[in-house]
Structure 1
Amino acid sequence: MAVPGKKGSKQFSSSTTSMASDEDLQVYCQPCDEEGTRLPAHGYCTDCKEHLCKTCFTVHQKLKSTRHHTVLDAISMPKVLHQPSTSIHKSPSDDLTTPCCKHPQEIMKFYCNGHKNLLCSVCVTLEHQAAICKVDYIPDTSGNIINSKEYQVILQALNTTFDQYQQMVKDVKEMTAKSNRSLKDALEDIKKFREEINQRLDELERQVVHVAKVTEQENNSNITAVETSCEEVTKSLKISSEKIKQLNTSKQANTLFMELKLAEKLMEDVEKTAPQLSTYDVKEHHFKENETLLTKLKTEKSLGILTHKPLHKECQPVQIKSRQSSHEGEICVKTSKDESSCYITGMTLLTPDLLIINDFNNNAVKMVDTSSQSVYDQLQLDDGPWDITTITSTELAVTIPYKKTIQFISVSSNKLKKRHTLKVDKKCFGISCYQGKLVVSFLKPTKLQILDMDGTILTTFDGKDIFMFPYFVTCNSSSIYVSDWWMKTVTRMNWQGDVIGTRCCTYSCMSELKGMSLSDDDTLFVCDDARCVIEEISGDCSTGKVVLENLKAPYTVCWCSETKKLYYSCNSSNERIANFLNIINCDKSYTNVL
């Protein structure tokens, strides 16, 4: 198919058009002709001694390297096409042969310093303005590039990067080998554990078999004794009976009389011993399984847990002010099921080793094993969960604000499972449980409600004049605490809805209070993601002190009283920050800094 402006390659035998064909006598753009496109000339550059099309003419006047050239318009330009004489020396641009990725028919001969891109002439004309971009013609700027400082710096950077990636490959191989060795060891441990179980079962079997054999021996011994006694009695009775019959036949009256009296005596003796023989208790024996053991084996889903610990270099610890606290590490909570970076908005502890977290962005509730520092299980929900609370050691409740529901979740065999849901009338955010009662915060309108486990509303507190955005709540036997990021307050209420204390952070216009956690001495840890600190507030909300600072927008927090560890998440667009939970070791011996 013919394309306008295209032509086949032609060989010129002379430097002028005098020996060319009629087609060659036409005045056309010489730069475009070299790239295989023939376009009519629109002007002429006397410095370059080339005819230019309209596009090349415009570009020629814009480029730094050619804008001072003398150009003639279509009226003033030569009407004869001049061809350069044949030379063994290549043009400076002859080795530029890389086609443009946007315009494959064009060769990249320019470089934009502003955008740091290689360009063709079309790119320069259409996308790079002379007033903004600094575009260089490569042959004009490449003359001093040989053995230049730029050459040395870039080459050194390439070598450094090459070495880094070689080291990375080496590290990966070493970590993979270590991982494989650990898997082999784990398989050996599984086999050893199974052998221990078998040995224990064998021992239990030997015990019950021993009891059965002892019982069998006792039975045999008792039966033998009874049989012997019965045989002796029957033998005596038979002898007496035969003797009496014989004496009667021989009519020996005196002897018969005596024998009959002896037989009566024998019968009396037998009657006395008969009850002793009949008291022997003969039993039927059966084996009854250990139902607890059997049920345990049936309900257990696995022989054990194969835990995972990342083999990567530890990151630099977070700098914190208190010397009594130290950054112990971090836990990656992003999994292969996640489609977005994590947004951890709620946390609660089931045990010191099991941390349950809400990942709002990925619509997930995750079980984190704090000992192995890995996500052990993940439960997908229909929408993003916000806050979470522990009801019992095996039951949780989470708020799903944009579905206006509270989802109950059970924990069995270290697995998370959906249970029933409670439908509420507004968007529910904060949630906390105490002695079978749920405290839930709502927006639009703002309010607090106390519900039982069936969803029955026990009390409603109007928050119109108290709260604006009560995103988080927590409670204990005497108080309900509400964190409001807009009002910059932590409000303490009693269970009757009376405000009995307020901690106001309006001394800092940057404050934005978010997640909270009650410590074992009923003080509060509160995240302030705008000031990048975690503050500890007294139980009566009268005083407070910054205990951790220079954090990366801490969003929610969880305190473990047994291990004295503080877990917190960060709200950040940086995935490296958002996808990790931080672990802080605390001894609660802080210095008051307020």
Structure 2
Amino acid sequence: MDSHTKSKDSAVCHEICQSHKNKVIKFFCTNHEFLGCKDCIALNHRKCQIDHIEDKCAGIGDSEEYKTTLIELEQKIKAVDAVIKKATLQDKEVDSTYDHVIKEIVKFRKEINDRLDQLQKQILADAEKKKPEDKETVKKVLERCTDLSSDIKNFKSKLQENKTSQQDGQLYIMIKQAKSKLNMDDLKNAEECLEQTDTLCTFERNKELENILTTHNAFGMLKPFATPMTPGKKSVSVKLTDKGEINIKTQSDRNGCQITDCAELSSTKLLLADYNNCKLKVVDTQIKAVVEEKALNSAPWCIAVLPEDKIAVTVPDKKKILVMAIAGKFSIIRRIPVKGDCRGITYRQDHLYVLCLGSKCVLTVDTHGKVKNIISLKNEIFVNPYYVLLSEDARYFYISNQGSESVVVVTLQGDISAVYKHKDLSAPLGMMMLDDGSLLVCCYCNNTIHHTSGDLNEGQTILDSGLQNPWAIYYNHQDQEVYIGGYCNQLKIRKVASTV
């Protein structure tokens, strides 16, 4: 009796109908998947297939429908959490993007002001230089005319004196001398000199600049940009074809070359970090030869090119960044100490971004060494993060990560946005970005180059021969050529071609 009573009580419904507040929900319309009271069914669902809940609910806690519903709810919770995480991330990105935009606007205005100040200074200097030159010309003309006037007045006076004193012989001589003086071109020359000197000038505005300033978007505009996380963004397939190689081993090298980074000094010159020989080497890509080298006290790892003919080089053994001038001979300007085994380095807008292997972080420092920010890489995904590549919009880092054999995208706030893994991605090291935003990654262990889309959704091996432990890679956008270095005495050259 108790069991029967409990079973009957468990089937009783207590949910109040939303349409009829004094009624309890007792029925379910299977046609319209509608829960309602007796009045709801009588008014709107007379012809439908109706389940009486008290008759149908027995044992539903053990049913497949119950289990499936729990699973679907759990999946929905995870989907909602994912959207919440994405929205939270985008909320942070709104702040960082706004800050970045403001900095860019202010920086651009400063660059314009500095350039206009420079141009103004230049034209003022031209004006200041012209003024004394013109005044000196006029002064010489005045002096010449003053002397000529004095001579003529002197002749006139002497002629009158000789006439009065009846000194005819002397008068004859003075007349001839005076006529000779009158025949001279002194006055004509002075007048021509004056005419040829543009002593008067005016300032003519640069019409192109004036027209630019009158246009609507003369200063610039805000526009959306494609981020590496844009859904559906795919890269164009590429192919690398052999274009030869450059011998980079020099007579003074004691060891085989180990190129850990490549950087562009000019359209025809590359700077290589030769870790094994503790050297920086300049390669001329036109004559295909090493044209300069700089021996260091310790092995260089990665290079960032700075403005005003300067570079920054990480030296892991010394836990330092060397800031060097490259004009003339390489010379060290500054040594920046780093707490950790510094590896990859990149530069953007007066800041260096340095990947530290031991402490697993990316340091943001200015070129004087002051730490501005620390981005932690404490996530378990990071085993041996070696190289860092900043996205074009400066909102993300691509980090090559040995050990977990992956490439990871991290925001400037330290959040992981994407992780790329592939069976062929073996010991990823140096990376570079193609024109479409996709990446080429050096795979050290299997001697390949891997190509992945900017959103890290897809990728494939595109070069698997002719390489020896590829480590560093550089892309010449103008010539669309890739230069690859590694544990090899040759710098490999490959032509980039798009494929359908």
TM-score (ref. length: structure 1): 0.46
1:237 and 1:376 map into 2 onto residues whose CA distance is: 80
1:228 and 1:404 map into 2 onto residues whose CA distance is: 80
1:243 and 1:375 map into 2 onto residues whose CA distance is: 91
Aligned match for 2:452, one of 531, 537, 545: 537
Correspondence for 2:292: 377
Q: Percent identity?
A: 27
* 1:202-221 alignment runs, 5 A limit: none
Q: Provide Cα deviations, 1:165-222, integer angstroms capped at 9, x if missing partner.
A: xxxxxxxxxxxxxxxxxxxxxxxxxxxxxxxxxxxxxxxxxxxxxxxxxx99x98999
1:460 and 1:450 map into 2 onto residues whose CA distance is: 6
Q: Provide Cα deviations, 1:353-404, integer angstroms capped at 9, x if missing partner.
A: 1111111111111111111111111111111111112122611111111111
Aligned match for 1:409, one of 320, 324, 328: 324
Q: Describe the SS at the equivalent of 2:277.
A: coil
Aligned match for 1:581, one of 481, 491, 498: 491
Q: Describe the SS at the equivalent of 2:472.
A: strand
1:221 and 1:463 map into 2 onto residues whose CA distance is: 79
Correspondence for 1:458: 372
1:504 is aligned to 2:414? no
1:522 and 1:323 map into 2 onto residues whose CA distance is: 12
Q: How many residues align?
A: 298
* 1:280-291 alignment runs, 5 A limit: none
Aligned match for 2:480, one of 532, 551, 564: 564
Q: Describe the SS at the equivalent of 2:326.
A: strand
Q: Describe the SS at the equivalent of 2:301.
A: coil
Correspondence for 1:107: none
* Contact in 2 for aligned 1:357/1:366 (Cα 8 Å): yes
Correspondence for 1:87: none
Q: Describe the SS at the equivalent of 1:235.
A: helix
The residue type equivalent to 2:359 in the other structure is P
Aligned match for 1:521, one of 436, 442, 457: 436
Q: Provide Cα deviations, 1:470-505, integer angstroms capped at 9, x if missing partner.
A: 111111323211100111111112222222222122
1:324 and 1:462 map into 2 onto residues whose CA distance is: 36
1:228 and 1:418 map into 2 onto residues whose CA distance is: 65
Correspondence for 2:252: 337
2:426 and 2:148 map into 1 onto residues whose CA distance is: 98
* Contact in 2 for aligned 1:470/1:482 (Cα 8 Å): yes
> CA 1:516–1:581 in structure 2 vs 1: closer, same or farther (change >3 Å)?
same
* Contact in 1 for aligned 2:319/2:338 (Cα 8 Å): yes
> CA 1:461–1:232 in structure 2 vs 1: closer, same or farther (change >3 Å)?
closer
Correspondence for 2:274: 359
Q: Describe the SS at the equivalent of 1:412.
A: coil
The residue type equivalent to 1:408 in the other structure is V
Q: Provide Cα deviations, 1:1-43, integer angstroms capped at 9, x if missing partner.
A: xxxxxxxxxxxxxxxxxxxxxxxxxxxxxxxxxxxxxxxxxxx
1:453 and 1:323 map into 2 onto residues whose CA distance is: 36
1:370 and 1:331 map into 2 onto residues whose CA distance is: 8
Q: Describe the SS at the equivalent of 2:382.
A: coil
2:477 and 2:292 map into 1 onto residues whose CA distance is: 24
* Contact in 1 for aligned 2:342/2:356 (Cα 8 Å): yes
> CA 1:523–1:227 in structure 2 vs 1: closer, same or farther (change >3 Å)?
same
* Contact in 1 for aligned 2:243/2:495 (Cα 8 Å): yes
The residue type equivalent to 2:499 in the other structure is Y
Aligned match for 2:469, one of 524, 529, 553: 553
Q: Provide Cα deviations, 1:315-355, integer angstroms capped at 9, x if missing partner.
A: xxxxxxx9953211111111111111111111111122111
1:323 and 1:482 map into 2 onto residues whose CA distance is: 22
Q: Provide Cα deviations, 1:132-159, integer angstroms capped at 9, x if missing partner.
A: xxxxxxxxxxxxxxxxxxxxxxxxxxxx
2:430 and 2:437 map into 1 onto residues whose CA distance is: 16
> CA 1:227–1:513 in structure 2 vs 1: closer, same or farther (change >3 Å)?
closer
* Contact in 2 for aligned 1:350/1:393 (Cα 8 Å): no
Q: Describe the SS at the equivalent of 2:330.
A: strand
1:233 and 1:438 map into 2 onto residues whose CA distance is: 79
* Contact in 2 for aligned 1:547/1:590 (Cα 8 Å): no
* Contact in 2 for aligned 1:360/1:385 (Cα 8 Å): yes
Correspondence for 1:430: 344
Q: Describe the SS at the equivalent of 2:457.
A: coil
1:530 and 1:468 map into 2 onto residues whose CA distance is: 16
* Contact in 2 for aligned 1:347/1:355 (Cα 8 Å): yes
Q: Provide Cα deviations, 1:40-99, integer angstroms capped at 9, x if missing partner.
A: xxxxxxxxxxxxxxxxxxxxxxxxxxxxxxxxxxxxxxxxxxxxxxxxxxxxxxxxxxxx
The residue type equivalent to 1:407 in the other structure is L
The residue type equivalent to 2:276 in the other structure is N
* Contact in 1 for aligned 2:377/2:414 (Cα 8 Å): no
**Mind listing any 5+ residue stretches in structure 1 that lack a counterpart?**
1-214, 247-275, 284-321, 572-577
> CA 1:468–1:410 in structure 2 vs 1: closer, same or farther (change >3 Å)?
same
1:221 and 1:438 map into 2 onto residues whose CA distance is: 63
> CA 1:416–1:519 in structure 2 vs 1: closer, same or farther (change >3 Å)?
farther
1:490 is aligned to 2:400? no
Q: Describe the SS at the equivalent of 1:386.
A: coil
The residue type equivalent to 2:334 in the other structure is H
Q: Provide Cα deviations, 1:408-443, integer angstroms capped at 9, x if missing partner.
A: 222114x33322111111111111111111111112
1:384 and 1:327 map into 2 onto residues whose CA distance is: 30
Correspondence for 2:302: 387
Correspondence for 1:257: none
Q: Describe the SS at the equivalent of 2:473.
A: strand
Q: Describe the SS at the equivalent of 1:582.
A: strand
> CA 1:220–1:535 in structure 2 vs 1: closer, same or farther (change >3 Å)?
same
* 1:69-468 alignment runs, 5 A limit: 223=144, 229-240=149-160, 324-392=239-307, 394-413=309-328, 415-465=329-379, 466-468=381-383
Q: Provide Cα deviations, 1:455-481, integer angstroms capped at 9, x if missing partner.
A: 111111221214110111111323211
The residue type equivalent to 2:473 in the other structure is V
2:307 and 2:251 map into 1 onto residues whose CA distance is: 29
Q: Provide Cα deviations, 1:486-538, integer angstroms capped at 9, x if missing partner.
A: 11111112222222222122x34x72111111223332211112232211222
The residue type equivalent to 1:425 in the other structure is K
2:147 and 2:375 map into 1 onto residues whose CA distance is: 87
> CA 1:219–1:468 in structure 2 vs 1: closer, same or farther (change >3 Å)?
same
> CA 1:393–1:544 in structure 2 vs 1: closer, same or farther (change >3 Å)?
farther
The residue type equivalent to 1:428 in the other structure is C
* Contact in 2 for aligned 1:519/1:560 (Cα 8 Å): no
* Contact in 1 for aligned 2:141/2:193 (Cα 8 Å): no
* Contact in 1 for aligned 2:238/2:462 (Cα 8 Å): no
Which one has the largest radius of gyration?
1
1:331 and 1:349 map into 2 onto residues whose CA distance is: 16
Q: After alignment, is 531-540 or 378-387 more displaced?
A: 531-540
